[in-house]
Amino acid sequence: MNTPRGAVARRVLLGISGGVAAYKACELTRLLVKAGHQVQVAMTEAATRFVGPVTLQALSGRAVALDIWQPLRASGMDHIDLVREADALVVAPASADLLARAACGMGDDLLATLLLARDAVPTLLAPAMNRAMWAHPAVQRNAARLRADGVRLAGPASGEQACGEVGEGRMLEPEALLWEIEALWQPQLLQGLRVLLTAGPTFEPWDAVRGLSNRSSGKMGWALARAAWEAGAEVVLVAGPSALAPPHGVRVVAVETALQMRQAVQDELSGARCDVFIAAAAVADWRPREVQPGKIKKEPGRAPQLPELEANPDILAEVAARGDAPFCVGFAAEAGDLLVNARAKRERKGVPLLVGNLGPQTFGRDDNACVLLDAQGERELPRMPKLDLARRLVQEIASRLPARQG
C-alpha cells in the first residue's frame, strides 16, 4: 500500500480507548511521525491496561495526556487546548463504549471531553470490537448518529479477531488509517464521482515463462488511485502486474495482458456509470502473435526464432471514441522529444487532457515531473513526490470537468 509522498506537517491528536487493538496505535503513532506529522496522544484509563503510556510517549516524543484532573497545560484546560491546537482528532481504537459516550455527548473523561470540544476540527474514529458487538443495533445507531454529526468512521474491517471469531469488527491496519487521516485534509473535489483508471505494465507472454513488458512499477497509477479516493471518488483500478499492495479504499481488478486490460475496462464501462477515465498504464504496444507452449529451451550456439508481433488495441483511444465517453486523461511516457510526441499523441487519441513524462526518468522512481497538454496549450509541473503530483493532477482534472466548472 506504500505510495511515495511529500510530508506536510500536521498536528494529530490521537485518542486511544480501551481494547486489544490499542497495540496498533503504537504503529500508527510511528507512521504518523515518520510521515512528518506531530502527534499528541490522549489515553483513557482502560487503554493503559492494554498498552503503556511510556511507549506512546517514546514514539510521539510528547507526554501522554491521561487525566482531566492532572492536565499537561498550566492553564488546566487540556480538554480545550489540546483539541483546538490539532489539525485532526483521531480515536484508534474506538471501543463500543467510546462510540456510545461520544454519540450521547458525554464528557466523563478526558477523551470524551476532547470529542465534545472538537468544534470544527476534522474527526475520525476507528471502531474496534467483537463482531457481535459491532452488529448490535445500539452500536449501529451510535455509529449512524456520529456520522450524521460529521464524524468520519474508518472501518471496521472484517477478519480474524482476538477472541478467535471471524467477522466485521477489526480495527483497520495502521497504514490504512494513515491514508484515512491524511484524506481528512484533502478537498472533496471528486465527491460522488466514479473514476476508472489503469496502471502498471502489461505482460505479453511469448512462452510459459517469458514475455514482453516494460519497466513501469505502477507507482504513479497507485498514487492517482489514492488521490482520487482521497478526493471522494469511487475508484476502480485495473492493474497490470505490480509488486505494490492493493491501495486502501480502492477496488482492484488484476490483469496481465493488454487484451485482458481492455476487456476489464470495457466491463467496467458497461457495468456502471463512469465520470473519469485515467489511462496511466504502460500498455505494451505489441504482443507475440502466438504463445509457445511450455518453455523454449536454450540450445548452445543457436538463438531461438523471435516471435512474430501484432499490435495491441489502443484502450484509451477506444474509450475516448465512445458516445458515452467519460472525461479521458492519457499518459505519454516518452524517451525524448517529449512535447512533440505528446502533442501528437493527444491529437491521435482524441483526449482532452494528456500527461507527458520521460519514461526513463520516472519508471520505478518515487518522484516524477510532467507536462500537461490540453486544447489551450502546455504547462509543466516540476518534479515532486508522486503522491503530491497525483493530488495536483486530481485538482487539474476536477477543474476541467463540465459539471464542476463555474
Please give the pLDDT value at position 385: 93
The answer to whether residues 53 and 94 belong to one domain is: yes
Beta bridge partners of 94: 127
Task: State the CATH number of the domain containing residue 231.
Answer: 3.40.50.10300
The last residue of a domain, from among 153, 183, 213 = 183
Q: Taking the C-alpha atoms of 260, 310, 296 and 203 in order, what is their torsion angle to the nearest 10 degrees?
A: -30
Domain contains 116: yes
Query: Which residue in 26, 163, 328, 370 is the catalytic one?
Result: 163
Q: How many domains in the chain?
A: 2
Neighbours of 45 (CB within 10 A): 13
85/225 same-domain check: no
Strand 204-205 vs strand 194-199: parallel, antiparallel, or unpaired?
unpaired
Residue range of the domain that includes 386:
194-401
Q: How much is the CA Rg of the chain, to the nearest whole Å?
A: 25
Same domain, 319 and 369: yes
Q: Are 145 and 20 contained in the same domain?
A: yes
On whether both 363 and 274 belong to a single domain, the answer is: yes
- 133 in Cβ contact with 106 (< 8 Å): no
Residue 114 CB neighbours (<10 A): 27
**pLDDT tens digit sequence for 182-214:** 999 999 999 999 999 999 999 999 988 888 888
> Can you list the residues of the chain whose pLDDT is less than 50?
1-6, 404-406
Active site residue 328: no
Phi, psi at 196, each rounded to 5°? -115, 130
Pick from 183, 206, 233: which residue ends a domain? 183
- Rounded-to-integer distance, Cα 56 and Cα 12, Å: 14
Q: Which helix (H) or strand (E) segment is 388 a member of?
A: helix 386-400
Q: Pairing mode, if any, of strands 88-94 and 11-16?
A: parallel
Which of 154, 183, 212 is at the close of a domain? 183
State whether 295 and 242 are in the same domain: yes
- Identify whether the C-beta of residue 1 lies closer than 8 Å to the C-beta of residue 179: yes
Count Cβ atoms below 10 Å from residue 351 Cβ, excluding itself: 22
Picking from 281, 259, 280, 271, the residue whose alpha carbon sits closest to that of residue 194 is: 271
Q: To the nearest 5 percent, what fractions of the chain are helix, strand and coil? A: 35, 25, 40
Q: Is residue 6 assigned to a domain?
A: no
Residue 216 in grid coordinates: 513501469
Q: Is residue 5 part of a domain?
A: no
Q: Which cell is 144 given?
A: 449512524
Residue 64 is given by DSSP the state: P
Nine-digit cell string for 59: 514514539
pLDDT at 317: 94
Q: Is residue 3 part of a domain?
A: no
pLDDT at 4: 41
Q: What is the pTM of this model?
A: 0.88
Cell 469488527, residue? Answer: 169
Per-chain mean pLDDT for the chain: 90
